[in-house]
Chain A
Amino acid sequence: AQTVTQSQPEMSVQEAETVTLSCTYDTSENNYYLFWYKQPPSRQMILVIRQEAYKQQNATENRFSVNFQKAAKSFSLKISDSQLGDTAMYFCAFWLNRDDKIIFGKGTRLHILP
């Protein structure tokens, strides 16, 4: 079965600090894409960053970057200079060509403290 595991149910960091959210996944496929989604209290899931598995270069979007370790099946999200507005649930997810659907982890609840 294809699975996504987020080992940190909840985290808290001070504003302006850097935080890393962990994610591991399990698949025997080679054609897949990885995502991090953010779900603030408004409930809307927002795509934060996307990584193509065949690209070795780690994706970056402003303060958000990933550390993609394909052999280890690890896909962590780093948030630099964290802001109060980063407080949200963060979901790691991946898409497999074979199934053509996005599978989500259980999420990490991140609190940014003033």
Chain B
Amino acid sequence: KAGVTQTPRYLIKTRGQQVTLSCSPISGHRSVSWYQQTPGQGLQFLFEYFSETQRNKGNFPGRFSGRQFSNSRSEMNVSTLELGDSALYLCASSLAPTGRYGYTFGSGTRLTVV
């Protein structure tokens, strides 16, 4: 059974550009959550999608957005990149629309903004 797949694995972008990250959840999982991981702030919740609907959102500016497709694959977009957006972006999936059972994570996309 394939795990959570995130692409690309590494990405380098310039300030002001926009970026799209992709996440394919475990087959059958319909909930996808996104986290930003930085050395200073640790893991911070971005948002969660279930059945193409955003169910939950963290405290991030509107430059961060996401969506989920009918096959449960999810994308997150960051517009007008800032240096502070450099981070590891982790995607996690779960079968149920709840985190009480824990998530299965992907290996993340390392975004570097220069």
Contact = CB atoms under 8 A, between A and B. Distances in A.
Contacts of A101: 33, 45, 48, 56, 58, 99
Interface stretch (B13-21, B62-70, B73-81, B100-108): B100-108
Nearest to B41: A106
Given A47-B102, A50-B102, A104 B108 contact: no
B88 interface: yes
Given A45-B90, A91-B43, A107-B42, A102 B103 contact: yes
B98 interface: yes
Contacts of A33: 99-102
A56 B45 CA distance: 29
A98 to B, nearest CB: 11
Contacts of A46: 105
Interface string A5-49: 000000000000000000000000000010101000011111100
B32 interface: no
Interface residues of A, number: 22
A104 B99 contact: no
Interface residues of B, number: 25
Interface string A69-111: 0000000000000000000000100010101111111110000
Given A105-B42, A106-B42, A43 B99 contact: no
List of 10 A-B pairs having minimum Cβ-Cβ separation, nearest first: A45-B105, A104-B43, A106-B42, A44-B107, A102-B99, A95-B99, A47-B102, A43-B107, A43-B108, A33-B100
Given A35-B102, A47-B103, A97-B100, 14 more contacts: A43-B108, A44-B3, A44-B107, A45-B103, A47-B102, A95-B100, A95-B102, A100-B56, A100-B98, A101-B58, A101-B99, A102-B45, A102-B99, A102-B103
